[in-house]
Structure 1
Amino acid sequence: MKKLLLFLLPAALMAACTETKKAEQNEVSENEWVVLFDGTSTDSLRGYGIDVFPEGVWLVEKGMLVTNPDTANRDLLTKGRYKNFELEYEWAVDTAANSGVFFHMQENLTMEAGNGNSPNWLDNFEIQVLDDIYFNDTAAVRSAGSLYDLIIPTNKKLKTIGDFNQARLIHNNGHVEHWLNGAKVLEFEIGSPEMTKLLAESKFSNNPGYGSDKEGHIMFQHHGQRVYYKNIRVKRL
């Protein structure tokens, strides 16, 4: 019996250590970067309304996430949900292409939008990704780097079509900053009088729940044109 116990005890300790290590890996601490897309693995991402990566709708090509314009659109979500976070990513667009990065996205509506985009896009803040030159809508408030239809970006220096822009998006207890190619192009406070006024004067005025979610998924939009994302990582704040 003693010999059996001596044999079983180390095995039990090893199993406990393994489970502890797994738990530690799954519960990433604050201020620790987590890679969401490293050029090959899509394990951290899935399609809106489905549990898997939307193969064929989004492609992995030469280390990039690429939208396929020849399919029905389906937006891409992080599997994790985030409240306070810092997100870094790089994006490029094809000619006349449109996309966007959303945060605090919910997934409580069915896929009924006519173009295949998630129906929740009207409920949450969007950082615009766009070809400012050839896209058919040239309004500055909907240009690349803007808070879509709400805040015009400043100090913006875009790369040429096909070249990658470096972006950084921060949300921390209602304070939001968006950085593009090393320059801060906008910031705002969720729920501030200024933001309340902007919303009241916007096309979102009839949606009282706009931007009210405190946490949710990060989403990359498939708008029907070819766009490219790479080097995506996030950390909780």
Structure 2
Amino acid sequence: MLLARLPLAALFTVLFTAALLAEESPNTLTADEQKLGFQLLFDGKSLEGWKHAGNWKVADGVIERTGKGGDLIYDVKPVPDDFELRFEWKVAEGSNSGIYYRPGQYEYQVLDNDRHPNGKVPDTTAASLYYCIAPSRDVTNEPGEWNTGRIVCQGTVIQHWLNGEKVVDINYSHPDPKLTAAIEKLKKRGATLDSRGAKLKLQDHGDPVWYRSLRMRKLSGQEELDNSPLKGN
């Protein structure tokens, strides 16, 4: 067998590389995701099903903003009332973008926290419910590196995840007085608690940004959600 003839260090490199490539399969669904009912929104090849003004393109399996023209909109169907969205994103230094998933600008912030002015305000940093709820802590990767994101919405619960960690977890029916101010901020952005039926949008904020591995599933409304406490800095 050819592998058996390789020096130990070289063999380790080959096996490590193979394992890494197996783990990194962007724009595909894992077996578990298929069982859960996820559907790919982007196949890694084209922007079929997406609406834009020519300022977004696909290169090497990645969606890239290339110039002025507005947001990239998934035009196939609206976002389900209860859903889970998984995605990967990266930004250039100082870049700003976001993912809109409900009417009235419910937004998952995408940002270079260290170099963009929004990074100085907790409720406008990466993975925040923009302008309303700050993430529990900053777990972003450096500009140019990929981040994994998740948005989970079910009933009155909204969760934002970043790089495997839950950083926003709110329940509108929870009698937390801190929530009152957040709801008022949402109203200023045109949102109501029963806002539903938006088209998914990737924001053009004038900066370089990249997305891939966008996949979504509809939740039953009775899914058992992660109720673990948020970790602080």
- Normalising by structure 1, we get a TM-score of 0.69
Distance, in Å, in 1 between the alignment partners of 2:107 and 2:72 is: 13
Q: How many residues align?
A: 182
| 1:36 correspondence with 2:36 | no
Identity of aligned residues (%): 26
RMSD of Structure 2 on Structure 1 (CA): 2.2
| 1:196 correspondence with 2:194 | no
Superposition deviation, residue 214 in structure 1: 2.5
Alignment correspondent of 1:80: 77
8 Å contact from structure 2 (residues 105, 190) kept in 1: no
Distance 1:143 1:209, change over 3 A: closer
Instruction: Encode CA deviations 1:160-209: one digit per residue, 9 max, x unaligned.
Output: 11101001111111211111111101111246554333233x3x554664
Instruction: Encode CA deviations 1:124-182: one digit per residue, 9 max, x unaligned.
Output: 31110001111133211101111111111114311111101001111111211111111
Alignment correspondent of 2:14: none
Alignment correspondent of 2:51: 46
Instruction: Encode CA deviations 1:38-74: one digit per residue, 9 max, x unaligned.
Output: 2113223223xxxxxx33x111111110112x32333
Distance, in Å, in 2 between the alignment partners of 1:210 and 1:158 is: 29
Alignment correspondent of 1:58: 56
In the alignment, structure 2 segments of 5+ residues that lack a partner are 1-33, 220-233
Letter in 2 for 1:76: I
Instruction: Encode CA deviations 1:101-128: one digit per residue, 9 max, x unaligned.
Output: 11123xxxxxxxxxxxxxxxxx231110
- Normalising by structure 2, we get a TM-score of 0.70
Give SS of 1:37's match.
Answer: coil
8 Å contact from structure 1 (residues 78, 219) kept in 2: no
Alignment correspondent of 1:111: none
8 Å contact from structure 1 (residues 31, 236) kept in 2: no
Distance, in Å, in 1 between the alignment partners of 2:192 and 2:88 is: 26
Give SS of 1:199's match.
Answer: helix
